[in-house]
Amino acid sequence: MLGGHSTEEKVIDTIKSLTCTARSTTLSENRTATPLRRQPVQQRSAKRVERMLDATAELIQEMGYEAVTTTLIAKRAGVAVGSLYQFFPDKRAVVQALTQRNLERFMAAVGERLGGVDHQHWWDVVDSLLDIYLRMHREVPGFSKVHFGDVVDVRLLDDRRDNNRVIADSLTQLITSRLDLSAEQVALPISIAVQAADGLLNLAFRRDPQGDPEVVAETKFLIKGYLASRLGE
């Protein structure tokens, strides 16, 4: 069990470290799933790839994943189709890169929020995590359609693990590296919390394009209660 103010501070510090370690603990393990045919070396090439990802996000937001084609992506990005194929083998690979970018931005936003806001209790961190996810769902083009990739493929982030498992494993690794807890103690509770939050927030956005506030509130209540029962107050 976790107890005492010092433990709460450790939990908060652990999740704060997401901004520094998210990429190494999550995406570095997914190198087999890297969608790029080749890494852009020059700044100009990197900006071109970013334009392709931005264009993909906009098109998915407008017409959905199935209707998007590589030709449409290239046209919206202002590049030749051949240029797109220099970096990506197909549409799925472009969307895979987009979802990986979304995950990186989510983790960066978590770090920024936790670094700038005083969290008095670990469940305030839960509020921040869910609030950032909600904001991305509302504001980031294409995110409401593909989330972290599950709409396209439940293993889009990593062909060895489903997308929610990638996120849960990252959180588990961070917590066990900082607290006197084993992965066996926390892995299942964290995995269940991630899965439950994902399903409930999807329900919230099916009921209301901006996220049904009652469902969001119930989601926070459920996740906090569950984790408190497993990891302690």
Region of poorest pLDDT, from 142-146, 151-155, 165-169: 151-155
| End-to-end Cα, the chain, rounded Å | 8
pLDDT at 233 over 70: no
The reported pTM is 0.78
Q: Are 217 and 130 in contact (CB under 8 A)?
A: no
- Cα 198 from Cα 109, distance rounded (Å): 18
Using a 10 angstrom Cβ sphere, with 0-12 exposed, 13-18 middle and 19 or more buried, the burial of residue 204 is buried
* CB burial readout 132-156, b (16+ within 10 A) else e: bbbebbeebbbbbbbbbbbbbbebb
Confidence of residue 12 (pLDDT cuts 50, 70, 90): very low
- 56-105 residue pLDDT tens: 999 999 999 999 999 999 999 999 999 999 999 999 999 999 998 998 88
**Domains of the chain as residue ranges with CATH:** 5-33+95-231 (1.10.357.10), 36-88 (1.10.10.60)
Using a 10 angstrom Cβ sphere, with 0-12 exposed, 13-18 middle and 19 or more buried, the burial of residue 92 is middle
- Cα 79 from Cα 82, distance rounded (Å): 8
Across the chain, mean pLDDT equals 80
